[in-house]
Amino acid sequence: MRFLALGLSLAVACTLSAAQKPLEIYFIDVEGGQATLFVTPSGQSLLIDTGWSGNQFRDANRIAAAARNARVKKIDYVIVTHYHEDHVGGVPQLVEKIPVGTFVDHGDNIETGKAATRLSEGYRKGLATAQRLTVKPGDKLPIKGLDVTIVSANGVVIANPLPGAGAANAFCDSAQPKEVDTTENARSVGSYIQFGRFRTVDLGDLTWNKEKELACPANKLGTVDLLIVGHHGSDLSSNPVLVKALSPRVAIMDNGQKKGGSPSTVDTIRGVAGLEDLWQLHFADEGGKEHNAPDAFIANITEADTGYYLKVTANEDGSFSVFNQRNKQTKSYAAK
């Protein structure tokens, strides 16, 4: 009888843990590019961008290693936010290392010239191995257990606020425009991602004036728990009218040592009321000690190509934690 009771309680425990399994998000270090891997409790996966080309498969190997860590053998969806080297460059190498189900993009590359043509050709190699899905604002990605809404694509942002969002944004009065951006950055595919009560947003390299369109006069996105800092923390993005309206508890910046991590962006993020921590993939040389997070919150702090990742583990109740692979430390953030 005692054995039967033990067996029953184990069965109950297993059922509970399956239902309560977390979402995992790997912030893979691709040295100033982007590669962010989401893995749902049922094992579905979404990769946002593929890092750089070249470097003897460095970025593809790091993505494949994170996928192995997450027990994923195939990447179901890869969002190519836009056609720049540090986002789409890694596609041909990635598909050699791990199969991809569907590539998601905003349509064809609008940039021309030698480099753009090479990137488009590399992307076509990837597309030859997978499905292609071209998205527009308001579309959803059919990923089980994850609510992914496209909020920007090809230079257009959602026309209407997301459910529950749309409050007037008091920060709009102080908005300062920047020069109109005619590059691929302004066409980035942006995603608002929900897992139960946990919410995060990724806007690729979406630039300043487009960020404002998402935030003014009404805040179309609402708030998030985790902000994936846009454009590697470059000062061409992270318009304060959006960053303040999003009001993140935690921000993670996928900067490189010499790319992104602008001091003014760090100041904008630190200026968010209610921000608990800023985490970074690299110490950013541009900012010096005073414009970088404390070392414990940085995955790669030396010049050596260490390639450590940050990993977020998020629960449906909105609680989450951040793990730094370098020092093996984890910080938890309770549900609010």
- Give me the residues that bind Zn ion (CB under 5 A), please: 84, 86, 185, 205
Residues 6+ apart with CB under 8 A from 107: 134, 153, 154
Segment holding 265, helix H or strand E: helix 263-270
* Smallest distance, Zn ion to C-beta of residue 331, A: 26
* Smallest distance, Zn ion to C-beta of residue 56, A: 21
CB closer to Zn ion, 24 vs 181: 181
CB closer to Zn ion, 29 vs 205: 205
- Report whether 296 contacts 329 (CB < 8 A): yes
Residues 6+ apart with CB under 8 A from 64: 94, 97, 98
Residue whose pair of structure tokens reads 């890694």 in the numeric block: 90
CB closer to Zn ion, 185 vs 200: 185
* Smallest distance, Zn ion to C-beta of residue 177, A: 20
CB closer to Zn ion, 114 vs 328: 114
* Smallest distance, Zn ion to C-beta of residue 32, A: 7
Residues in the chain: 336
CB closer to Zn ion, 184 vs 225: 184
Sheet holding 23-27, edge to edge: 131-134, 100-105, 75-79, 45-48, 36-39, 23-27, 310-314, 320-324, 329-333
* Smallest distance, Zn ion to C-beta of residue 260, A: 8
Token reading at 235: 């000062």
